[in-house]
Structure 1
Amino acid sequence: MIKPIVTSPLMLRAPGEDADPTDALDAQVGQDLLDTLEAHRHECVGMAANMIGVRKRIIVAVEGTRSLLMYNPEVLEGTGAYETEEGCLSLPGTRPCTRFRTIRVRYLDERGHERTGSFSGYMAQIIQHEVDHTNGILI
C-alpha cells in the first residue's frame, strides 16, 4: 500500500527498532516501502521505514530495474570517503554529507536469511543514506 511521506524531523530523528521479515507486520512494512518507492520513483531512489511513519530498521533502494529490500541493514565497512550533496524526499533542499564509494553491508532479506553484500557507486550512496535514516540521522 502506498503510504504518505513523513516530513516531521521529530519522527525522522527517532532511531528504528530491529525488524523481523518473517513477522507479518514487518513484512507488510517492507511491501509498503516497495509500493511507496515505486509511486515516487520519478523523484526518489531509496526509502526507509521512518519515511512512511514506521520506526523499524527496514530500507529499500533502487538497483537498476529492481528494488532491493533490506531488513536491519548494517554497514560493516566503507572505503573511499568522499564529499557530496544529497536531497531527501522527506526534507526540502540538499545538504552536504560524507559517503563511502564502496561499502559492505549485512542485512536480512525478505525471507529472513542473513546476507552480506558489497555495493559501490550510487547504490552504495543510496544505502548509506537510508541506513542513516534507520539510525535517526538526517543529512
Structure 2
Amino acid sequence: MGMGNPSAEIIGLLHHYKGLVPTEFLDDVTQYAIDYVNHLNKFEHHELLSFLKLSEKLPDKQYNLMSNKLREMVKACVTDAPEKWDSYCLQPIQVVNSPRSEYYDLFADIIPMNLNYLVTKQTKDGYWEPTWVLGTI
C-alpha cells in the first residue's frame, strides 16, 4: 500500500478541522498528496477510497488538480463484473452513493444490479457476511 492509505484521508480530516491546523502545513501536505496521486500509475482500491475522502473536503481549486486522476483510479479499481462481487473487491455502490455522485455516470447501468446483489446477500438478521477471511498467525 502506498502513501495514500490512510494519509490522504487524514489530510481530508485536517481540511475538515482547518481552523485548528496551520495554513502553511495544510497547504504543504495537501500539495504533497496531490502530487503523489497524480504520479500514481498503479492503483489500489484502499488508497483510492482514502483519496476520495480527501477529495470531499478539498476546495474546488485543489480538487480540480486531482479530479482527472481520481476518475481514472475509479475506472481502474471498481469491479463492475457481478460475478466477482463475492470476492474481496471494490463495488460500484462503494464509490457511488447517489445519482448526483461524481462517478454515477461510469456505473449508472450496473448500480441497480449492485443494489440487488446487496439486498440478496443481506442475512435475515440484517448484516452482510464479509467477502474475505482473516489469515492465520
What is the TM-score with the length of structure 1 in the denominator? 0.32
- Structure showing greater radius of gyration is 2
Structure with higher RCO (Cα < 8 A, 6+ apart): 1
* Structure with the bigger percentage of helix: 2
What is the TM-score with the length of structure 2 in the denominator? 0.32
